[in-house]
Amino acid sequence: MGNPFQDQLLKAGLVSKKQAKKAKREKHLNRKQSKESNPSTISTKARAEQAAQAKRSRELDLKRTEENRQREQKAQIKQMIEQNRLDLDDHGEAYHFVEQKRIQRIFVSDEMADQLSRGQLAIVKLGDSYEVVPGKVAHQIATRDKEVVITLHQK
């Protein structure tokens, strides 16, 4: 059984058997060529898609790596502050400093106020509170994040 439309044309005498075979052969060749050309376009598309996916993966990996690095730095800063902070004196002298255009104050002993003004001590921010740490520690913290160090006078 062939093509019913082709059979009708043959019975009506509109086409010859030779013309029908030629049309069938051309149709077969066209299908064969389209199958051969399709895989190359598919592979090209697949390669392009893979390249785009690889690029997105690299970008996400870089972003995750950067976020992990920042998280580690914040943890290091917090640990350094907690290990090296000095006790504040609630009954001592008020030490005023500026943070983001606002005047803040903490209460420290007279000796600590003198050391703060000479750059031997520094004020750093830990969460919502302020802590006093030695100047060397403040320099180490500043290499990781300058915004945490509020006041550090130069010697």
Q: Give the chain's end-to-end CA distance (angstroms, integer).
A: 102
Write down the pTM of the prediction: 0.61
Q: What is the pLDDT of residues 8-44, one digit of tens each?
A: 777 787 788 888 888 888 888 888 777 666 555 567 8
Are the C-beta atoms of residues 107 and 92 closer than 8 Å to each other? yes
Mean pLDDT score, 71-82: 92
More confident residue, 155 or 153: 153
For the chain, what percent of residues have pLDDT higher than 70? 93
Residue 2 confidence (pLDDT): 66
Distance set, CA 53 to CA 42, 50, 58, 66 (Å): 16, 5, 9, 20
Mean pLDDT score, 91-110: 88
